[in-house]
Amino acid sequence: MVPILFYAACAVASAGLLLLLMSSGGNAGHDGQGRAMRAVATVLGLAGIAWILVVIVQAIPVTNDSLGQVGLMILCAFISIGSAVRVITHHRPVFCALYFVLVVVSGAAMYVLLSAEFVAFSLIIVYAGAILITYLFVLMLAQQSPADTKGADAVDYDRVAREPAGAVIAGFVLVAVLGGSIFGGNHTTARAAADQALAVRGAWNDLARMPRFLTEQARRVDASAIAVVRQPDGQMLTVQPDFSAAVTVAHADGSAPSTIILPPALLPDNTSRVGMALVTKFPVSLELAGVILLMAMLGAVVLARRQSEATAHDTPREHNS
């Protein structure tokens, strides 16, 4: 990656965003000048993002991705970034929330492309389904009356961006630094292969934590196996260079344990692995997450009670005064 080009692309995109934020201020949005500004800003922003992607893709030395998947990825990138920009620039909060749904959905698509199917769907269910609905409810609860909007499409504080220049500069610095640190290193084929080897070993080793599941997989290769036993070196399995794994199994007929080879296809799919990781590697975190949710629920109840009490107390006081 050429850092200067990356920074330049970021600068272009930032400039576009800045223009967009500034054009939305005041009543500029309704006249022709504002529309022209927004057009220029959109073009600048899209160009900047495209340029960033090009710079990044060029920096990858070797690629064996399928073209279709990369294309889908780029499509998702544009959708999610565009929606995100609308989230932070739209005047009407409800639309912001709806655009956010779009961000979440395109994000879920990218998760699928990155073979994280389970998380992708839970994202849609939890985020788009639950959290965003909460947001929409609250937005409706806290809606400003038309009198507050003074004839414009939204209240002042939703229309006028606060310190857009400073914010965009901070964002630019952040992206530049993050991108610099993520893509600034060496990306070589050897390194990618090493990464993959490590990953497969990791997957097998995850499996080795669950002997019963390993035995099940072993029976698919050798139906007479009743248990996977430890090898002489104390390991449950040995990962071969071709990513298959050798395990020692005991047999139902009492004959001597024998070594069989499990092919990589027998590795569990992604969802199973997430589930296994949750219960084997992160059980405490899982419990803690449950506690956090419980506490949040209690907190919400307390807040709701306080609100109703405050209302009950406030109303007569207002009458008196």
Partner 1 sequence: MSEALSSAFTIAAPTQISIALAISAILFSLGLIGFLCRRNLIIMFLCTELMFQGAALAMIAFARMRMDVSGQVFVIFILTVAAAEAALALGLVVLLYRRRETLNSEAWADLGES
Partner 2 sequence: MNGELSIPQVVIAPELAWVGLAILLPLLSAVVCAICGALRVKNKLPAIVTALALAISFVIIVQAYFAYSGPVQVPIFQWMTFQWGAGGPFHSFTANCSLYIDSLTLYWMLFVTGLGTLITIYASEYMEGDRGSGYSRFFFGISIFLFAMSALVLGDNLAMLYLGWEGVGLASYLLIGYNYDRPSAVAAAKKAFIMNRVGDLGLALGIFMLWANYGTIQYSELFAAMNSGGQSAVDWHISVIPFLLMLGAFGKSAQIPLFTWLPDAMEGPTPVSALIHAATMVTAGVYLIARLYPFFELHPEALATVAWIGCATALLAATIGMAQYDIKRVFAYSTISQLGYMFLGLGVGTTFGACYHTLTHAFFKALLFLTAGAIMHGFAGQLDLRKLSGLRHVAGWRIVSWTMFVGCLWLSAFPYTAAFFSKDAILLQALTSARADFRFLGWMGLFTAALTAYYTFRVWFRVCAGPVHFEAGSEGHHDHDDGHHAQDRRDAPGTHATFHPHAPRWAINGVLLILAIGALAVGLPAYKTVFMHEDNWAQQMIAHSSAYEGAGLADAHGHSDAPTPTMLGMDAHTGLTVVGSTASVGGILVAWFFHLRSRKSADQLRAALLRRWWLGWIPTAMEHKWYVDQIYHALFRLPMWIGAQILNFGDRHFLDGVLVDGIAKIPLALGRVFRPLYSGALQGYAVTMAGGVALVLAWASWVWLRGVH
Residues within the interface to partner 2 (CB under 8 A):
162-163, 166-167, 170-171, 173-174, 177-178, 180-181, 184-186
What does the alpha-carbon distance between residue 138 and residue 81 come to, in Å, rounded to a whole number? 25
Q: Which does 269 bind (CB under 5 to 8 A by kind): partner 1, partner 2, none?
A: partner 1
**At 237, phi and psi to the nearest 5?**
-150, 160
Stretch of 32-40, 157-165, 227-235, 252-260 lying at the interface with partner 1 (CB under 8 A) = 157-165
Min separation Cβ 48 and partner 2, Å: 19
Binding of residue 28 to partner 1 (CB under 8 A): no
Is 193 a binding residue for partner 1 by CB under 8 A? The answer is yes
**Residue 270 interacting entry, from partner 2, partner 1, none, C-beta within 5 to 8 Å by type:** partner 1
Please give the Cα distance from 321 to 230 (Å, whole number): 81
Given 220, 295, 309, 313, the residue binding partner 1 (CB under 8 A):
295
Considering CB distances under 5 to 8 angstroms, the limit depending on partner class, which of partner 1, partner 2, none binds residue 218?
A: none
- HSE at residue 312, side-chain half, CA atoms within 13 A, is 6
Rounded distance between C-alpha atoms, residue 240 and residue 1, angstroms: 35
Query: CB–CB of 113/69 below 8 Å?
Result: yes
Note whether 1 and 136 are within 8 A (CB). Answer: no
Q: How far is the CB of 256 from partner 1 (least distance, A)?
A: 28
Closer by beta carbon to partner 2, 173 or else 303: 173
According to DSSP, the β-strands at 245-251 and 225-229 are antiparallel
Give the span between the Cα atoms of 126 and 106, in whole angstroms.
Answer: 15
Helix, strand, coil share (%) of the chain residues, nearest 5: 75, 5, 20
Q: What would the DSSP string read from start to end of 250-313?
A: EETT-PPPEEEEE-GGGS--HHHHHHHIIIII-HHHHHHHHHHHHHHHHHHHHHHHHHHHHHHH
Distance between CA 127 and CA 58 in Å, rounded?
Answer: 34
- Tokens 């990953």: give the residue: 199
Closest to partner 1 by CB, 43 vs 174, is: 174
Q: Which of residues 207-236 bind partner 1 (CB under 8 A)?
A: none
Asked if 315 interacts with partner 1 (CB under 8 A), we say no
Report what 222 binds from partner 1, partner 2, none; CB cut-off 5-8 Å by kind.
none
Site size toward partner 1, by CB under 8 A = 119
Question: Could you tell me which stretch among 26-34, 93-101, 209-217, 229-237 binds partner 1 (CB under 8 A)?
Answer: 93-101
Among 11, 77, 227, 250, binds partner 1 (CB under 8 A): 77
Give the nearest distance from C-beta 168 to partner 2 in angstroms: 11
Q: If binding is defined by CB under 8 A, does position 162 make contact with partner 1?
A: yes
Q: Which does 142 bind (CB under 5 to 8 A by kind): partner 2, partner 1, none?
A: partner 1
Minimum CB distance to partner 1 smaller for 205 or for 226: 205
